[in-house]
A and B are shown apart, each in its own frame.
Chain A
Amino acid sequence: MNSVNDRSRDIGAFVPRDDDDMLICRCEEITKGEIRRAVHDGMWTMTEIRRYLRTGMGLCQGQTCARLVKGIVARELGVSPAELEPATSRVPMRPIEMEVFAKEAKEDGHE
């Protein structure tokens, strides 16, 4: 997938907006302004945004906000959302208690 991406490309200056206080990632309480600011700090991929701000790292793992975050980042970069790769989905699909997850095998290691 690798395509050359020069991070010094000029995307213009950060301009504050009225709706910057709007919560986008509800699990981790990240606002639209924080996401836009992160793009100007150099975070140009969904993966970098997630690692920098924790968007999509809470209980829902991005199942709620990922599309919204992508739209905001794309607009800030001046590209189509379709050009941005989604961040990697991680196992497990739903939060699962440690004692339940642990039962994948018995104590002696056999199923």
Chain B
Amino acid sequence: MNNTADVIVIGGGILGNATAYYLEKRGLHAIVLEGSDHIGNGGSSRNGGGVRQSGRDVRELPLVMYGIKNIWPTLSEELGVDCEYHQDGNLRLGKNEKHKEILTRLATNAKGCGLDVRMIDGKEVREINPYLSDEVTCASWCPTDGHANPLTTTLGYYKCARALGARFVTGEFVKEIRLVKGRAGKVVCASGDVYEGDNVVVLAGYDSRAILGTVGIDVPMTRSLLECLVTEAQPHMFDQMLGTAEADFYGHQTKHGSFVFGGSSGFEGYNKDNGTPISNAITAPCICRGIMKYFPILSKAKIVRTWAGWSDKSADGVPVVGAIEEVPGLYTSCAMTGHGFGIGPAVAHQLAQLIATGETDVDLHELRYDRFHAKI
């Protein structure tokens, strides 16, 4: 096999698969290197499926809005898989005055960016979602938010990129990027395999930090555990995406009928994990207790599965996306901070455009890799 391509993509998650897909559509050949044995094995398969704009930082909002306007609505037809995209709004729920303050601040910021988000009271909340308990007294409501299926979307991009000619290699853990005449051009793997390209894109979640470090670039991020639970299929109840001001839980009902709810125990960052993202015994019960306060009706629903994953959290809570000018030919999108799935298609679309033409439709300036400075 020829180990040379126009672009070497490091990471076979939704970002890598979609970037390869959009590159191939532009006539640029891509080789995607995935470190694990499975395509889409990191955060791309381990997230709550949110495709939302509300609650996002104003720096990343334009990119999120771009994807929701231009890519998500027709993605299932484009990829030939059911991405299960629903655009039925996002309710971020609050139970007291403190929550209301948090939600109002987020809503005001987003409104400033031209997003339709507004505060509603408990009565309006229950008109939108009649299953919510009386404990919910307020919410922010963004009608253009939604959710999708991370598994089929991620693998759908893979299927289509592969069909267009992109080459995928799994179990190919990248150790190092090497410069060729000052450009990022060579990628060396733990297996000893070497790949060469005119451009290198690093889309490897938390592993991006070590990989970028081999050419002297550091993006400050930490790895944090995220845990979810899945119920058995329930009769159809509602289509909104849900979150809470207190971050007790978030989630939605899938097309299949099951609910996917994510949440936390408060011990994230202190878990004993032996290097694998594992479900902790205390977390799922804690998420259940949180959910039942908002949805007493689900207390008899059976949990069939729990799972966990890592997200790569940036130092300022906003992803890093774009070209790394210090190293010509090098691009990245990392430190996605848990937003990588919803924002992924737009990021990949814009990265492919940037590599092919040197320009982007969305201004990525605020997402630069070198924006982090010491506090004084």
User: In this complex, what residue of A is CB-closest to B258?
Assistant: A57
| B303 close to A101 (CB less than 8 A) | yes
Q: Is B292 an interface residue (CB 8 A)?
A: yes
Interfacial chain A residues near B126, Cβ < 8 Å: none
| B40 close to A51 (CB less than 8 A) | yes
| B171 close to A101 (CB less than 8 A) | no
Give the contacting residue for B158; candidates A8, A42, A61, A98; CB below 8 A.
A42
User: In this complex, what residue of A is CB-closest to B80?
Assistant: A41
| A90 close to B152 (CB less than 8 A) | no
Q: Is A19 an interface residue (CB 8 A)?
A: no
Residues 165-208 of chain B: 1 if any A CB is under 8 Å from the residue's CB, otherwise 0? 00111111100000000000000010101000000000000000
| B155 close to A5 (CB less than 8 A) | no
- A102-B170 contact, Cβ under 8 Å, with A2-B37, A52-B152, A59-B232: no
A34 → chain B, closest Cβ, in Å?
12
Interfacial chain B residues near A41, Cβ < 8 Å: 159, 162
- Interface size of B as a range: 35 or more
Q: Is B223 an interface residue (CB 8 A)?
A: no
Residues 132-158 of chain B: 1 if any A CB is under 8 Å from the residue's CB, otherwise 0? 000000000000000000011011001
Q: Is A92 an interface residue (CB 8 A)?
A: yes
Q: Is B73 an interface residue (CB 8 A)?
A: no
Q: Is B130 an interface residue (CB 8 A)?
A: no
Query: How many positions in chain A have a CB within 8 Å of any CB in the partner chain?
Result: 36
User: In this complex, what residue of B is CB-closest to A88?
Assistant: B307
Residues of B283-323 contacting chain A, CB below 8 A: 284-286, 288-289, 291-292, 298-307
Interfacial chain B residues near A18, Cβ < 8 Å: none
B72 → chain A, closest Cβ, in Å?
20
| A6 close to B37 (CB less than 8 A) | no
Instruction: Classify the secondary structure of B's interface with A.
Output: mixed
Residues of B1-37 contacting chain A, CB below 8 A: 1, 35-37
- A96-B167 contact, Cβ under 8 Å, with A4-B191, A85-B37, A104-B281: no
**With the chains together, A52 CA to B172 CA distance in Å?**
22
Q: Is B104 an interface residue (CB 8 A)?
A: no
User: In this complex, what residue of A is CB-closest to B306?
Assistant: A91
Q: Is B272 an interface residue (CB 8 A)?
A: no
Q: Is B351 an interface residue (CB 8 A)?
A: no
Q: Is A43 an interface residue (CB 8 A)?
A: yes
| A97 close to B301 (CB less than 8 A) | yes
B61 → chain A, closest Cβ, in Å?
29
| B284 close to A95 (CB less than 8 A) | no
| B279 close to A2 (CB less than 8 A) | no
| B288 close to A5 (CB less than 8 A) | no
Give the contacting residue for B36; candidates A2, A57, A98, A107; CB below 8 A.
A2
- A98-B301 contact, Cβ under 8 Å, with A4-B169, A5-B170, A54-B256: yes
| B151 close to A51 (CB less than 8 A) | yes
A-B residue pairs in contact (CB < 8 Å), sample of 10? A4-B170, A4-B191, A41-B159, A58-B304, A59-B304, A90-B307, A97-B302, A98-B302, A101-B288, A104-B282
Residues of A within 8 A of B (CB): 1-8, 41-43, 45, 47-48, 51-52, 54, 57-59, 61, 85, 90-92, 95-99, 101-105, 107
